[in-house]
Amino acid sequence: MTIVSNAFYYEDNYYLLPNIFPDYSSFLDAVHNGTLPMELHAIPLREDHGIRNFSVMKGRSMAPYFLRGYNDAPCSVVIKNADNIYPVHAEVYSQEEYNAKLRELILKKCPGCLRYKPLSNRVQSLNGHFEEMSLDGVCLFRQETKPTPRIFHDHLFSFGGFYRRFNFFDKSASEMLKELKTWFYVRYANAELMDSGTHKELILTGHKKEILLPVLTNAIADYLNSITNHAYSIRYTDHLTDIQEWLDNAVSNENEITFQQECKKYGVSIGVLEYDTDAAEKIRKSLKPMADHFWMFPLFQTDGKEYYLLADTSYVLKELRYRSPMLQSYHTRIGIYGQQGNKSYEISFDMLCSEL
């Protein structure tokens, strides 16, 4: 039997509502009327408890569906900002109950996905699904078209590893062009290397028919700066002076096919986050860890909108879903422009996908 529990989301963590509060309203009253910071003890709800054996991934779920039996002891929670508390209706299951529900969903929802493999009677056949499908049947990693999409985020870190190992710093402009093409599939018309002795700058010129080159180059440059401490930089010659105009042009009917092909080729998409105007600071703070780890690259913002280059759409949507108690409270939505056409994802626990 499904039991829905009162919980709350605070500072990127989920907690069961402590038993001393009969309902959510009494909890909020105590926080708002009490002295901050306030310390209380609550059971944390985690997506990953870090439990593994030789063949089975255990202790992993997707919010707002969680597991009991791993870390059920209350921990200390210090509330410093009452405005950062958001209500959650969570479901908590034993591992066996969770497995049974997940298996039933997989058999119903997964056929037709290129990544689907028929389940055996063994528990380990569920591996890979725990972190991809929630118990409401939403899978953000489904693939129905060939070839399997490339993921720009993977290429960034592969490129960084080889950069360090093979000392790309000493390569010529033409050699760097070859490496960039090898790792990212990007083709530039020309490259010039400027060397000041302590700093090198690779200046790249692109082909006009390549729509995504400017933002891709900026993304690669941001990552390269992080691993070289700005000793080696990349710059695209044609600076985007009006990125709104660029985006409108990129997703226009005239360029729609080319744009979708480039998104598939490079393993990226464009995300447009819309929300209540007064929530900008909170949303940017919540998404900053993803930007810092190069899952999404900020392009620009306007009142109530944030534009991002997404380096891995499925992962970003999963992380947004995790943050949905906060995002939903500010009427947040994200529009995804990518290789499968333009889609809109509602940031809620339903997270239903519908055409824009």
pTM of the model: 0.90
Query: Residue 171's pLDDT is what?
Result: 87
In angstroms, rounded to a whole number, what is the distance separating the alpha carbons of residues 29 and 9? 16
What's the CA angle centered on 205, arms 202 and 211, to 5 degrees? Answer: 120
Q: Which domains does the chain have, with CATH numbers?
A: 4-126 (no CATH), 152-244 (3.30.70), 254-355 (3.30.70)
Main-chain dihedrals φ then ψ at residue 10, nearest 5 degrees = -145, 125
Residues facing residue 333 across a β-bridge: 274, 346
pLDDT at 354: 43
Structure tokens at 54: 């030789």
CA distance 142 to 351: 14
- pLDDT by 10-residue block (mean), the chain, 356 residues: 86 96 94 94 95 79 94 96 94 93 91 84 79 89 79 93 82 91 91 90 86 91 91 84 78 83 91 92 93 94 90 93 93 86 64 46
Looking up tokens 């760097």 gives 176
Give the pLDDT score at 355: 38
Residue 294, both tokens? 């190069």
Helices (H) and strands (E) in the chain, counts: 10, 18
Given a contact cutoff of 8 angstroms between Cβ atoms, the answer to whether 17 and 26 are in contact is no
Are the CB atoms for 164 and 148 separated by under 8 Å?
Answer: no
Task: Please state the φ and ψ torsions of residue 92, each to the nearest 5 degrees.
Answer: -125, 125
pLDDT at 168: 79
Q: Which residues fall within 8 angstroms of residue 19, CB to CB, at 6 or more apart?
A: none
Q: Which residue has the tokens 């059920």?
A: 72
Residue type, 82: A
pLDDT of residue 209: 76
How far is residue 329's CA from residue 11's CA, in Å, rounded to a whole number? 14
